[in-house]
Every structure is written in C-alpha cells, then in structure tokens.
Chain A
Amino acid sequence: MNLRDLRGSVAVVGAGTAGIGEAPGYTDIELLALAAKAAVEDAGLTMRDIDGLATANLNAAMWPLNVVEYLKLRPKFVEGTNLGGSAFVAHMLPAMLALSAGVCDAVLVCYGSTQRTSGRREKLQARTLLDPFPFEAPYEPFNPPSSYALIAARHMHQYGTTRRQLAEVAVAARGWARLNPEAFARDPLTIADVLAARMVSDPLTVHDCCLVTDGAAAFVMTRSERAKHLAKQPAYLLGTATAAWHRQVSGMDDLTVTPALESGARAFSMAGLAPQDIDVVQLYDAFTINTILFLEDLGFCAKGEGGRFVENGAIAPGGRLPVNTNGGGLSCVHPNMYGAFAVVEAVRQLRGECGERQVKGVATALVHGNGGVAASSQSTSVLALAEAL
C-alpha cells in the first residue's frame, strides 16, 4: 500500500468549539466535552457513534483515559501522542490509518483548556518538576517566548528580516480577528502599536506572542464513503504528515529551518498538490516568526523571503494569500495548544461558514500545526472539498 492510495480516503465531517476567550468556573474537560458535543452534532452523529478517540493535554499523563471516562466512550482506537500544540493535526495521520484499516468508524479529535482562568503558574511549576531541562533551565529562558526569540533573532541576522515584518504578521492576524465574532482580541492594532509594545524577549513584544485564553475545539473524522451521507459538506483529507526533530532550541541544527520543511513536503506529495494550489492557509502562529518560518518551509516562498512575503498586508484580509482567517493564535484563541482550532477554521472556510471573514471560492485548505518550545514538531494536513478530489 502507498500513502497516495489513502488520499481522500477519510474526511473531517464535524467541527465545533466552546469557551473561546474566558470561561471562568470551567475545567479543561468540561470545555472539551462541550466542543466534542458540538462537533459530533455538527456531523449529524451521536456520541454513541464515536468509536475512536484522539486527544492530548499538557496537564495529565493519561489524558485519553480522563476523556474516555468523562464521555463514557468505548473506543476501539485511542491516540494520545503529545507533540505539543501540533498534536491534533498530528492525530490526523494515525486516525486516517485506523479508519482506513477498519479499526474504527468515527474518530473524535478533541481538546480543551482553561489556561487563562485556572492557575497556570502552578501548573507550569509542576511540569518543570516532572520534565526538567537541566542544560537550559539554569539560564532561565522565558519559554516558549525566549526560544522563538532566539529563532527570530537568527532569522533577522541571516536574512535581514525586520521587526516591522514581524509586526505585519500580528496586524494581519488582528485584521482577520476583527471579522470573527468568536475571536478574543478584536481591538484595532497597527504596526506602530506592535513596534511600541512591551518587549517580552527581544525581538518579540507582547503583540508578537500568542494570546493566553481558554477554549476547546473538536472535530470528527470518518471514511469518505460515509462522509458523503452525513450532515455537512465533507472536508476530505488529501495529505497529512508529521516531522519531529528536537525538543529544545539548543537541539536545532539551523534555527531558521523547522521540521515543517519535511512535514509540508510529505503532505503535499501525498495530496498531489503544491502551495500554489492552496486557497486558504491556517498556520500555527504561536509567535509572529512562526508564520514567516512556515510560509518558507512549506514552500509558499523561498527560505529567507518570508519577511518580505508578508509585507503590505499580503496575508491580511484582502491580501494575496489568506492566512489564519480566524485571527490565529495571535488574536483569536490560544489555550496552551492551538492545533485543533486551526483544523476547525479550515473546515469552516471550506464549507463557506465564515460570514464576514469568508474567503471566496475556497476548495483547498492547508492546516499546519507547530509543537514544542522551539518549533520542535510540525504537522501538515491538506483538506479539500469533493470538487478538488
């Protein structure tokens, strides 16, 4: 069997979110359950139809079991690999393989977090205790911002990328968020605002860093022959791939090249498509430099050209390439891990459900997940409507 044989064999058939922004008084799993219900109902299925589960959470070592019990599922397929925020994009490959092999018939991919409203300092301290970084921790990098700051500084040094170009990414994300009623940060934002903002870890200001919000997102995958008969237009999975190269910024060979170079090439190869075939792009923008790195590594522009590529509103509403149309992690939602939200937005754009921010004539969408404190793991998926199959 060749991976190309699985092109379009499965589809995302339901998508939902819950609690985006602030959800005081809720727990992670409560928000997750609400998003899961929304996604399952969106597909025209019931929770009883779900016999596969993919989920991850930074706070619990056996999180899939928490979810199995809470939703009272009896899954035949459980996937809990945690590669950081990319996890839910990464889950699409094993979910596709399990569905294709007949292991299960409907996989629920789901995430929920109350990072904003529930004691994140204490949770961070607990994680540091369980997963120490003895060769980086003594220098107290403020992670993840400091690791991405080191990446950004090197990109600026090698390619002449400027803080103004980074600011373009933040302003474009805000432009999209202002069209999205679900987005958390919708105040006007200018390049001057970003350049004058409080510095967090040079060269990244608070506006170059993603939000810290609450929120949950979920989606459902089935085989394509079933997808055709469900409630909504299927978003067929044409290609998906994951690459993981390191854990820490000190483990990177080249600070300006991420594993997206590999995940993107493999996902495009499976899909039989190239960047110029993509109508709408959802890139995990934990920091402004991420969007630039991924535009380069995924082949939307050459290495080193990402800063120039985003200039003059090129990825903002009305620009030449619609990127992060929900407002992204920078302006819509970022509760610890963002990957599942990027998938949901791609599905909504494909279906034409996005109201004021809807991009016209979307038939293909790229979703790209980033994980870890230093672009450590990367997962790319290409989704499309039936007409692009």
Chain B
Amino acid sequence: MARGTSVQPAMNRGAEARYAAALSAGRFLLQRCNDCTAHVFYPRELCPNCHGASLAWVETRGTGSVYSVTTVRRKPEAGGDYNVSLVELDEGVRLLSCVEGIPPPEVRIGLRVTARIADHHGGKRVVFDPAERAK
C-alpha cells in the first residue's frame, strides 16, 4: 500500500500537465532549455534543439507577430467564419492560435499581437489580440 506515497504529486507529472495547470491558474508559460538556452513550445520532457532534459519554466512576454493566417469558413448558423493563425512569439517559438478582436479577413501576416488567456469550453486557451488594441 506504500506504493508511490513518497513521490511528491507535483513532481510526478509530465510537462504537458504542468503547462495545463499553470494555464488554468492564469499563467502562460514557455520552457527554456538550461543547456542550450533555446525557448521551447509546446512543453516537452526533452529539448528538441539539444535533447537536454533540463527545461525551466519561464513567463513569456506574450508578444509576437502573425506568421501565417487562414480564415476557416463556417456557416453562420454554426458560428460563422473564424481565424486560425500561426503566431511567432518574440522568444522565437511558434504556436497555433487565433487572433480575436478584429474581423478574420483583417488578420494579416506580420500583424503584431499580444497573448491573452481566454475561457474555452470550460477550460483555458491562449488567444491573441492586435497589439495596438491590447491593454
């Protein structure tokens, strides 16, 4: 019955669960490799750049720019068209997300954006606002 009792629950979780826990608490975290200093996203156990296993959690400034963009077409009765963007953060990592606050056709490659944590189907997700409108 003593199985596992000596393990700290917080230490016994993978990078994905730790990222999700931080996001739920309102923090958008990246990883930074202690060996090669590369920023890493999505969260991993190994650095994809040098394969070191020592990755630190760091706050992101949350600023970046739209690297590519598409408008997914959807019938109005199903919610209408929506934006899907690849955003490159200033730390150098890229993630799939969406830009909100402006109509989808106005989201252009190169647009400066700022991250925000938004509610999504009972959970949280990172979305972006145009930088000039972000407060």
Q: Are A255 and B68 also in contact (CB < 8 A) when A139-B84, A250-B86 are?
A: yes
Identify which of B72, B120, B121, B125 contacts A146 (C-beta below 8 A): B72
**Which residues on B sit within 8 Å (CB–CB) of A249?**
86, 96
Cβ of B60 within 8 Å of any chain A Cβ, yes or no, is: no
| Contact present for A135 and B72 (CB under 8 Å) | no
Number of A-B contacts (CB under 8 A): 70
Please report which residues of chain A, range 88-143, place their CB below 8 angstroms from some CB of chain B when the two chains form the complex.
134-136, 138-142
Q: How large is the interface on A (under 10, 10 to 19, 20 to 34, 35 or more residues)?
A: 20 to 34
Identify which of A135, A150, A198 contacts B70 (C-beta below 8 A): A150
The interface on chain B, measured as residues whose beta carbon lies within 8 A of the other chain's beta carbons, has a size of 25
Please report which residues of chain B, range 93-121, place their CB below 8 angstroms from some CB of chain A when the two chains form the complex.
94-98, 105, 109, 120-121
Identify which of A150, A198, A199, A250 contacts B69 (C-beta below 8 A): A150
A-B pairs, 10 with minimum CB distance: A149-B70, A154-B68, A150-B68, A138-B125, A135-B42, A202-B71, A136-B96, A250-B96, A157-B109, A201-B70
Report which B residues bind A (CB closer than 8 A). Answer: 16, 20, 41-42, 67-73, 82, 84, 86, 94-98, 105, 109, 120-121, 123, 125
16 pairs, A vs B, C-beta closer than 8 Å: A134-B20, A138-B120, A139-B98, A140-B72, A140-B82, A141-B72, A141-B96, A150-B86, A157-B109, A202-B69, A202-B71, A202-B73, A202-B105, A203-B70, A248-B96, A250-B42
| A138-B120, A139-B96, A248-B96 given; 20 more Cβ-contact pairs under 8 Å | A135-B41, A135-B95, A136-B96, A140-B82, A141-B70, A142-B72, A146-B72, A146-B84, A149-B70, A150-B84, A153-B68, A153-B69, A153-B70, A157-B109, A199-B73, A200-B73, A202-B69, A202-B70, A249-B86, A250-B42
